[in-house]
Amino acid sequence: MRVGPTGMKHLHQRIRDDIEARIMSGEWAPGHRIPFEHELMAEYGCSRMTVNKVLSTLAANGLITRRRRAGTVVAEPSNQQAVLQIQDFALEAARAGTEYRFKVLHRSIEPIDAAAAQRTGLPAGTQMLCLSTLHVMDDVPLAFEQRLINLATVPEADKEAFKDDPPGTWLLRRVPWTDAEHIVRAINADSAMAKRLKIQSGTACLILERRTWQAGAFVTEARITYPGDRHQLVGRFSPTA
């Protein structure tokens, strides 16, 4: 019976770590057939349910592929993905010990144009709350946010003044979402953006676009522009976590 260090608390954790280690080390390469459940039962001296729980979890995480009758094999590495944390400005400022404030520069209710209609999947002319917000840390503009909020999905946004919390924070706490789409790209700041962010015209900026839906209904779109030299998106990721 081969198990990991016995200091580890639970049986299924030991089995899981053991199998993960064999995959991660390359001992079991992609395509390698993993022992059948009844073989693992014998190897670890436990019931099938326990082995099954471990393998189901690994399958859900994409490390292995299971097929009835055929057995279980180590999965091919899939498309790489980058997981980036998107910080809440206020939280980030508090951690860094700096002062944060925001200012809503523009507010209106407008029907969306054709391009926005295509992006959001809504009919053109749908009424949207449009907000432009500048995020400032220690008197330095950190980001400029252009946001559309679907008043059909979030009618209470119309009455909100966005005095204590910026729109993103307010929405995150209020409206659950089921689907999100992100786009990241780089542009040269035009003169209007340069003036708002107090940077030179032409400076490279990072743009993060995020659209969220709730059960198919469009909720909000945010386009956040960061000066390239003042902000970067960072993420750490383990496939097994």
Partner DNA sequence: TTCGCGATAATGTCTATACATAATCGCGAA
Partner DNA sequence: TTCGCGATTATGTATAGACATTATCGCGAA
Which positions lie near DNA, rule CB under 7 A?
10-13, 34, 36-38, 45-50, 52, 55-56, 59, 66-72
- Residue with the two structure tokens 């209106």: 108
Residues 167/149, Cβ–Cβ less than 8 Å: yes
Please give the backbone phi and psi of residue 52, each rounded to the nearest 5 degrees, phi first. Answer: -60, -40
Q: With CB under 8 A as the contact rule, which of the stretches 37-45, 85-93, 116-124, 140-148 interacts with a copy of itself?
A: 85-93
Residues 144/197, Cβ–Cβ less than 8 Å: yes
In the set 110, 188, 191, 198, which binds a copy of itself (CB under 8 A)? 188
CB atoms within 10 A of CB 144: 22
Partner in contact with 197, chosen from a copy of itself, DNA, none, beta carbon below 5 to 8 Å by kind: none
Helix (H, G, I), strand (E, B) or coil at 172: helix
Please give the backbone phi and psi of residue 34, each rounded to the nearest 5 degrees, phi first. Answer: -80, 145
Partner in contact with 172, chosen from a copy of itself, DNA, none, beta carbon below 5 to 8 Å by kind: a copy of itself
CB of 56 to DNA, least distance (A): 6
Residue 30, both tokens = 């992609």
Q: What spatial distance separates the first Cα and last Cα of the chain, rounded to whole Å?
A: 26
The size of the interface with a copy of itself (CB under 8 A), counted in residues, is 57
Cα–Cα–Cα angle for 101, 104, 109, nearest 5°?
155
Q: x/- contact string, 16-55, with a copy of itself (CB under 8 A)?
A: -----x-xxxx---x-------------------------
CB of 91 to DNA, least distance (A): 25
List contacts with a copy of itself (CB under 8 A).
21, 23-26, 30, 57, 60, 77, 79-88, 172-173, 175-188, 202-206, 208, 210, 214-215, 226, 228-229, 231-240
